[in-house]
Structure formats: C-alpha cells, structure tokens
C-alpha cells in the first residue's frame, strides 16, 4: 500500500466518434498553446523507486507521477498513423495542448500493420516518423508511453500476419519491438514500452481460431497471444511471451521501463489472480499497468480488485473513464485508489476546451469540455502530491 492519499475530481469522457473532428491541412498551422513556446525542462530517465512504491527520476531521485492522456485516435476514429504524416501540424498542436492542460505523459498506440511491411521487414518510414514524434515530445516536455503491436483496425491487417502460427507471429512481434526500441533507445522522451494492449490467452481445453477478441466502437483492442495452450499452463505461455519481447527490446534499450496494460480480471471475476502480474510472469516487467472502468455501486469491488495488483511494483491506472458509473463514483474510485496507484492516464481526442465551449456544442462535447477543465484544474494538486512524497 502507498503511504499517501489524494482527492482527485471526477472524469467523464465522451465517445469520440460522436465528436466533430478538429484538423488542419499540412500547410495550415493551428494556434500553439502558450506552454509549448515556454522553456521546457530537460527530461530525465524515469525508473521505479528502490522500494517499489513510486516512480523517481534516475538522476534527481524526485518523485514522478504519471498524469496524462491516451492519444489513441481522433474524433473520427482515425488512428495516429492514419494522419501523422498528412496532418503533422495537428499532432504538434495536440501535444502542445496536452502539455498546456498539465499532462506529463502521453500514451500512443502503434499498429503492427503500420510498422511491419513484411514478416522480416520493418517499415522504416514509420520508424522515422516515430523518431520525429519523440523529438516533438522531448521539445514539448512530455514522456511517451509507447504501446505496441496494435491490431485495432482488423480490416487493415495483412493476411500473412493473421494466418501465422504462434511461433511465426511471436517472431514478427519480437522484430517489431527490436525496431521500435532501436529507434527510441536514446530518446529522453520515453517513459515506457507497453508490450501490447490487453493481451489474453484461451482456456485450457478450448483452442481458438481468431487472434482478435470482440470489437468495441469499430476497433479490436484485445488480442490473444496464442490460439492453443497445447498442454502448457497459461502462466508459462505468458512468461515465455513476455520474456521473448522483453529480450527483443533489451537488445537495443536497457534503460527504459517495460510494462503490459491489462484487463483487471480480478474485477470481472472476484477472487481471480493476476496472470501477467503473477510472480511467475512479472519478473521482467518494471511496473503494473491496469485499465479500470468502475461500475455503478461497486466501488469496494473495484478497489478490492485493484489491490490484487499491488505486488510491490509501481502501479499506473493506464486507462480510465466512467463507462459504467457516474462521475461521482469515478471520483471516489480515483480518490481511494491513490493509496495504491502511482499514476493515472485518461483520454484526449484533439479538441480544446475553447472548441468545446461553442454555443452549439452537443452533450458529448460538453462532457469532454468539463473533463478537460477538470484535468487542467487538478494538475496543481498532482504537483502538490509529488512534493508531499518527496518530503517523506
């Protein structure tokens, strides 16, 4: 348990597909937020504290609290790689805006199909653009949570990848991470590598046929790392997969942290134990990342589930918003989770508070406006919490 407590106001996010898009043409530069033009402190390497209770700067030893946004797609559902070439000025503006709102971390979601031309050939053009994004992040004063191996748009997956065996698929995934780590290793803007968004495994006696699991709002956020346990335990498969990908990253980058963003199954099935954060699997992971969407009237259940992931490593709530509860209950969850969690990451979809404040704004826009206002207003409290922790 963490030796601190903080009250954080409620967060309510709109469904981005309901929101009008903010964009600009390649030669049209939008307004630059004031903070983006100010002098930006040098970013230092972030590591877990020796006692596992928080994050600290590797040089200064100062507490670092991840506080930021998932920058996963725009209001029209387009993923970052769908527009980061043609609308680069929009990306520049969005990073400046997220910084102006108070963020210190931005989580990006890289897609396998955009970074691998063939099973053995990474996409150098995409890697060059990632390097450009790292420079932008460093200039803006933002760290990147680099989540990889996304397959969010099923229709864009190459047939060769979808038809692969487990071994061949893992080979591609390892090469993906080798290429990304080689690109990112020397950047001061890397907060962490997240191996995959919400990986899952099949049941012991139930081989599967599809790598992707379900669909939400036109996207496949969950994928299997194997289709058949073939007599192996789920822990051993997860351990082998994590160690394979960690080794791929460590070929080029031995400094930056590695994690896996998971579904908290202990919340869905009370009494369930963590898989990726079990003792067997988690040894090579630097901190815990969980995605929590508390349900109405079930605050204690959510907190009990979160406590299952308190394993002696720092913990980040890597996704959150009130999908199944009101903002007051989300507020209570975040307030109480500060005893365990060491950081929180919400969502940003590329529109400013001013744009959401127009007279004709719809309800989703008004909700998102209030969320962004809250985030900005709460940032001083996060900074105060950091000061309190440094005084312990």
What's residue 29's pLDDT?
A: 30
What's residue 322's pLDDT?
A: 67
Q: Which tokens in the block code for residue 364?
A: 């989703």
Question: Measuring CA to CA, which residue among 230, 268, 225, 228 is closest to residue 245?
Answer: 225
What's residue 113's pLDDT?
A: 96
Query: Taking phi first (over 0 means left), then psi (-120 to 50 degrees means alpha), and beta for anything else, what does residue 214 get?
Result: left
Radius of gyration of the chain (CA): 20
The dotted CATH code for 16-390 is: 3.20.20.80
What's residue 23's pLDDT?
A: 30
Q: Which tokens in the block code for residue 219?
A: 């996207």
What's residue 364's pLDDT?
A: 78
Q: Which tokens in the block code for residue 305?
A: 């589930």
Q: Which residues contact 362 (CB under 8 A, 6 or more apart)?
A: 18
Helix ranges (H only) for the chain are 34-37, 80-83, 88-101, 112-115, 124-140, 159-162, 166-184, 234-250, 265-268, 299-307, 327-337, 363-390
Residue 54 to residue 351: CA distance in whole angstroms = 31
> Residue 194 has what DSSP assignment?
E
Collapsing DSSP to helix, strand or coil, 178 comes out as helix
Specify whether the CB–CB gap between 108 and 71 falls below 8 A. Answer: yes
Other CB atoms closer than 10 Å to residue 190's CB: what's the count?
A: 24
Question: Measuring CA to CA, which residue among 76, 36, 103 is closest to residue 343?
Answer: 103
Residue 383 to residue 190: CA distance in whole angstroms = 20
> Residue 12 has what DSSP assignment?
-
pLDDT digits (tens, 9 = 90+) for 381-390: 877 777 777 7
**Cα–Cα distance list, 243 to 25, 40, 170, 249, 302 (Å):** 43, 36, 11, 10, 29
Report residues of the chain scoring pLDDT below 70. Answer: 1-40, 322, 391-392
Q: What is the pTM assigned to this prediction?
A: 0.89
Specify whether the CB–CB gap between 124 and 160 falls below 8 A. Answer: no
Specify whether the CB–CB gap between 319 and 292 falls below 8 A. Answer: yes
Residue 85 to residue 100: CA distance in whole angstroms = 23
φ/ψ of 377, rounded to 5, equals -70, -30
Collapsing DSSP to helix, strand or coil, 315 comes out as strand
pLDDT digits (tens, 9 = 90+) for 18-49: 333 323 333 333 344 444 445 567 899 999 99
Specify whether the CB–CB gap between 376 and 101 falls below 8 A. Answer: yes
Angle at 219 between CA 308 and CA 157, to 5 degrees: 110
In sequence order, the β-bridge partners of residue 345 are 68
Residue 11 to residue 334: CA distance in whole angstroms = 9
What's residue 392's pLDDT?
A: 62
What's residue 301's pLDDT?
A: 93
Residue 313 to residue 48: CA distance in whole angstroms = 7
């Amino acid at each position: 348990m963490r030796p601190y407590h903080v009250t954080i106001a409620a967060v309510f996010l709109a469904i981005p597909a309901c929101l009008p898009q903010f964009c600009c043409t390649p030669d049209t530069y939008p307004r630059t937020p004031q903070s983006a033009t100010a002098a930006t402190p040098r970013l230092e390497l972030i590591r877990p504290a020796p006692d596992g209770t928080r994050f600290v700067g590797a040089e200064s030893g100062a507490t670092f609290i991840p506080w930021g946004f998932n920058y996963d797609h725009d209001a029209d559902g387009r993923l970052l790689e769908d527009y980061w070439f043609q609308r680069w000025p929009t990306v520049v503006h969005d990073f400046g805006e997220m910084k102006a709102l108070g963020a210190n971390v931005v989580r990006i979601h890289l897609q396998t199909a955009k970074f691998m031309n063939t099973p053995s050939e990474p996409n150098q053009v995409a890697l060059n653009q990632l390097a450009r994004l790292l420079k932008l992040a460093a200039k803006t004063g933002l760290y990147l949570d680099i989540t990889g191996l996304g397959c969010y748009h099923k229709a864009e997956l190459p047939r060769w990848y979808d038809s692969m065996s487990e071994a061949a698929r893992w080979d591609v995934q390892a090469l993906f991470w080798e290429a990304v780590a080689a690109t990112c290793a020397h950047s001061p803007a890397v907060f962490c590598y997240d191996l995959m968004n919400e990986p899952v495994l099949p049941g012991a006696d139930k081989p599967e046929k599809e790598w992707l699991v379900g669909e939400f709002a036109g996207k496949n956020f969950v994928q299997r790392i194997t289709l058949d346990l073939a007599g192996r335990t789920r822990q051993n498969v997860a351990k082998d997969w994590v160690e394979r990908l960690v080794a791929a990253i460590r070929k080029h980058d031995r400094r930056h942290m590695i994690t896996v963003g998971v579904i908290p199954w202990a919340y869905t099935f009370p009494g369930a134990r963590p898989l990726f954060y079990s003792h067997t699997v988690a040894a090579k992971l630097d901190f815990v990342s969980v995605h929590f969407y508390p349900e109405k009237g079930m605050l204690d259940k959510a907190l009990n589930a979160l406590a299952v992931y308190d394993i002696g490593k720092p913990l980040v709530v890597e996704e959150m918003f009130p999908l199944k509860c009101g903002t007051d209950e989300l507020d209570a969850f975040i307030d109480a989770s500060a005893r365990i969690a060491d950081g929180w990451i919400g969502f940003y979809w590329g529109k400013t508070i001013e744009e959401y404040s127009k007279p004709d704004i719809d309800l989703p826009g008004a909700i998102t406006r209030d969320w962004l206002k809250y985030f900005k207003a709460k940032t001083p409290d996060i900074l105060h919490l950091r000061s309190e922790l440094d005084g312990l």
